[in-house]
A and B are shown apart, each in its own frame.
Chain A
């Protein structure tokens, strides 16, 4: 890795902000091989894409909208911000492709992976890392499609694009421009080592129960149940899921239990989790962030859950949410071989956690910066996180992932 630059700027005018961004970069950065861009939903991302293509003609472009801003080693910028992570790595190879998820997200993902590899002349080659950024809702299908190609032989890391208000204004940015219901796939073959970590920082609260009812996913107009998993948990242990959850959490969604609606903020500290695998008897939990209470008393969540899956009640606290990012980044750094120095990093921090830490998000950035010894990084806030948990590429909620590039 030759050099990694991070830059961030804010403003209402995308072009102006872009100019500020490029002003922070050395001229040589224009030859960068990859550029990651996160930005607030208010920006003209097509313009941004065009500017990026113009300024970094050789670079693979990936990115998308980030909930409420972004962060770098210099701190956090709000939703008017645009942040870039610029990778100068002449000996490395980087590719990207983007496209709509369509009705077969798995197939789309598989195809986009092929296109991304082809874009850098690496057809058939196993990347060091696959980076994805996608619209919410089809993450498991996307991973399935990608696993068809690479299985779990390389980490698939990324995030679900987010907006400030969960209003569907999320965006994905790729080589061809911006998408709203799309998938951006980046393939990275860095010349130096890459480290990563994917972690959730909650601990079991105690209660657990088995999913007994899942809201079916109709296939088109027929309404035929096509799969026994979904994102609407109807019942746990035969009871309405929301009620069970409310009981597990000591009534944090008591008000919504009656009227339904978004429970994002309340549940940030009380996620559910599935068993993501064990190491030496210690369970890794894959978190589920309940999103809302459905009229049927079920829980809509931000990831697929299969019927029969045991759910665990988890709990966290603010301090740990703040510190967790630093620990994850440290872990990612420590996963580099031979204590290599960090050239730069890419961090995905759950948007829900950001909402939970609120104004202390700056500490999060600081913790990350400290753990990375001040190396440039770019962090986004997402509505879902994808990463490698116990050698499996999975989608989770309220997770934090860090990808560290060695110098």
Chain B
């Protein structure tokens, strides 16, 4: 609207009226325009205030009510998936929601951007659906184009029949409103789009970042794969290498670039190996089709050297492609190590001979081989007096003797025979095959003869011999263990008769073996069930014949009440490895019975128990023993008796065990002194609290001047070394008198003062 002067030059009434009317019109127009602007601004403000997920059309409709008067309002829009009809996406009346309105000329005009008011919609195609929705075609309608994102839409305002129709003023206002709504929605969606755009940008940035990370990871992975010490390869269905790293290619005897994309060399059906390669290729494809993973070893030649390669293959399916993932590892060194370990597992490290386990397998194999017919012999070989050699010279000398011995025996054997070292100085010989016993005897005799010849070890000439016990398959047994026990029985027999001889297993040995096996079983059960009890023999002070201590001597009390002395079972217990348990049970019983002994004999009495030379050299047992002594709480009341040989031979006993015993307060006694290989001078090397002179020197001491002299010498040394002495085996009064009158020995032990007795047998007598 322009503002050029409305006042005509003449100031007639008509002119004034006209001017007034003109001003009024201008004013009304301005006021209306202002009202329109205000309404539009309020509508705009309302529209732009739509937040978050709020439906903007709620605001649209509420803003419409401020601008227009209508009975119904609904929003029609092009369907998102396309289509001819418009869909009612928003309506104040929920019944109208999702109704579909056909598009004809009127709607097309409006969607083209024109605001249209209708005074009647009767007969219009677009209104065909309206009747079903309860909308009268007789009412006026205002159709306003609105853009909702990429969809065109129509805002439909309806007035009921009878109400004044929408006029051109409404149309003009609706044009502005249309622009406003579309812009407001566009702004909102643009803001959303902007936000969405920012979000997408951020997503894009994150994706790029992820991509970079992924690429970096992929590169890293690629480098890792390339650098892996294990060969990695991926092959396709045809066997071609899609992926192979440096290690994998090297194990194929090639470089990566030579094999990538090609068949590996061993699968290429070309040259002399074509047929074989083709077979391998066929097997490969079968494996791939089978879908089962595999592991196998393959021998290859790399740089002229034979190598063993461990191959694993796993068929996989990735993105509809069948692939073989495989790894390859050069295990040549490992194989060597395994073989070495195998050898060690089945061979004696000192002599290189088969060990017990391997011998077992070899004998089992022989049994299987001779199941139908044939025979073979299994012979135990034991070096006579090997222990003395070990003790006298050194363990190193002993080892050298064993090595020389094993070589000497091996030379005497046939190529088919097998020699094994099963423990210490014990060997097993398999004479296989054997036509008859005479043939075996000839082999045995050669071995014996070979063993009789002197051995020169480290400049020393050693004379020794071997005892042998022989059993025959199938006569004496059908398995390794039986044959071994038979041979063991036979050697036991041979040793007891004459060293350096041979004994062939027979029925009597079988009985002995059976008895031995029974004894073994019984002994094992006795250890398990703690059928051992201590028999205590008192040590008496010579001056007043007061009991100053006891020696605990183990007895095996069988379930039927029979009491077995140590001589029956100690050796076997040692062989079977049961002696440790028996010794610990002895200690347990001492700890349990000492309070009673103390009550009757005084709190100062001591109890001694025996430890064998073998035990003295077994640190594992010593640890257990010391722990048990410590736990018993009676360490200061205990005396450990060891033979002089044990003390002399086990150097580490002196160095490592004695200090620990001393620290606990346990005393050490040299038992059976005079019977070992030690001399008096060795007493200087032994740290002991007590020395027990063997009964050999005490028996008939009153009549044997030589023994008297020896005893005097021993006493003199003990006095000098401040070692107390005990005389063992005092049985006669005369012996007692002599000791009392001619020696300074303070303590005696023997039948003279009491035999070893169980606690309950001991107490009544002492209590009497």
Which residues of A are at the interface with B, using a C-beta cutoff of 8 A?
121, 123-126, 128, 149-155, 189, 193, 199, 201-204, 279-280, 282, 284, 316, 319-320, 323, 327, 330-331, 333-339
Contacts and interface: CB of A to CB of B under 8 A. Distances in A.
Contact of B24 (A203, A282, A316): A282
B168 A126 contact: yes
Contact of B18 (A149, A151, A201, A319): A201
21 contacts: A123-B124, A124-B119, A124-B120, A125-B116, A125-B118, A126-B116, A126-B117, A126-B118, A153-B117, A153-B167, A154-B167, A193-B172, A282-B21, A323-B8, A330-B6, A334-B2, A334-B22, A334-B26, A335-B29, A338-B1, A339-B2
B166 A126 contact: yes
Given A201-B18, A282-B21, A339-B1, A126 B10 contact: no
Contacts of B24: 279-280, 282
B165 interface: yes
B25 to A, nearest CB: 7
Contacts of B20: 280, 282
A280 B19 CA distance: 13
B117 A125 contact: yes
Which among A152, A331, A334 has the greatest number of chain B C-beta atoms within 10 A?
A334
A339 B22 CA distance: 16
Contact of B119 (A153, A189, A330): A153
A110 B8 CA distance: 40
B164 interface: yes
Contacts of B167: 126, 152-154
Contacts of B165: 126, 150-151, 153
B312 interface: no
Contacts of A128: 168, 171
A124 B124 contact: yes
B208 interface: no
A153 B122 CA distance: 18
Contacts of B119: 124-126, 149-151, 153
B4 to A, nearest CB: 8
Interface string B713-732: 00000000000000000000
Given A124-B119, A203-B17, 18 more contacts: A124-B121, A125-B106, A125-B116, A126-B140, A150-B165, A151-B164, A153-B117, A153-B164, A153-B166, A282-B17, A284-B21, A327-B8, A330-B4, A330-B6, A334-B4, A334-B22, A337-B1, A338-B1
B13 interface: yes
Contacts of A320: 10, 12, 14-15
Contacts of B172: 193, 337
A355 B171 CA distance: 39
Interface in B122-170: 122-124, 140, 164-168
Which among B1, B13, B14, B167 has the greatest number of chain A C-beta atoms within 10 A?
B14
B105 interface: yes
Contacts of A189: 114
Interface in B25-84: 25-26, 28-29
Contacts of A336: 1
A243 to B, nearest CB: 26
Which among B15, B24, B121, B166 has the greatest number of chain A C-beta atoms within 10 A?
B15
A334 B1 contact: yes
Contacts of A125: 106, 116-119
Contacts of A199: 18
B21 to A, nearest CB: 6
A203 B118 contact: no
Contacts of B17: 203, 282
Contacts of B114: 189
A216 B15 CA distance: 38
Contacts of A204: 13
A240 B25 CA distance: 38
Nearest to A338: B1
Given A126-B166, A203-B14, A331 B123 contact: no
A282 B25 CA distance: 12
Nearest to B168: A154
B168 A124 contact: no
B14 A126 contact: no
B1 A153 contact: no
B14 A155 contact: no
Contacts of A150: 119, 165
A291 B18 CA distance: 26
A282 B2 CA distance: 23
Closest 8 A-B residue pairs measured CB to CB? A153-B167, A126-B117, A203-B14, A124-B120, A203-B13, A124-B118, A339-B2, A153-B165
A333 B22 CA distance: 12
Contacts of A155: 168
B613 to A, nearest CB: 126
Nearest to B164: A151
Nearest to B23: A280
Nearest to A155: B168
A284 B121 CA distance: 35
B25 A331 contact: yes
A154 B105 CA distance: 22
B14 A201 contact: yes
B369 to A, nearest CB: 113
A279 B164 contact: no
Nearest to B142: A126
A378 to B, nearest CB: 23
A279 B21 contact: yes
Contacts of B118: 124-126
Contacts of A333: 2
Contacts of A154: 167-168
Contacts of A323: 8
Nearest to B9: A323
Contacts of B25: 331, 335
A243 B24 CA distance: 37
B343 to A, nearest CB: 104
Contacts of A316: 14
Nearest to A316: B14
Nearest to A200: B14
A330 B172 CA distance: 21
B26 to A, nearest CB: 8
Nearest to A120: B105
A338 B36 CA distance: 14
Contacts of B26: 334
B18 A327 contact: yes
Contacts of B18: 199, 201, 327
A203 B12 contact: yes
A178 B118 CA distance: 30
Contacts of B10: 319-320
Nearest to A128: B168
Contacts of B14: 201-203, 316, 320
Nearest to A280: B24
B1 A335 contact: yes
Contacts of A339: 1-2
Given A201-B18, A202-B14, A124 B105 contact: no
Nearest to B127: A124
Nearest to B27: A280
A338 B117 CA distance: 22
Contacts of A123: 123-124
A82 B88 CA distance: 52
Nearest to A202: B14
A121 B22 CA distance: 37
A368 to B, nearest CB: 15
Interface in B101-121: 105-106, 114, 116-121
Contacts of B15: 320
Contact of B168 (A153, A284, A327): A153
Interface string B163-183: 011111001100000000000
A328 to B, nearest CB: 9
Contacts of B21: 279, 282, 284
A201 B165 CA distance: 31
A203 B1 CA distance: 26
Nearest to B28: A279
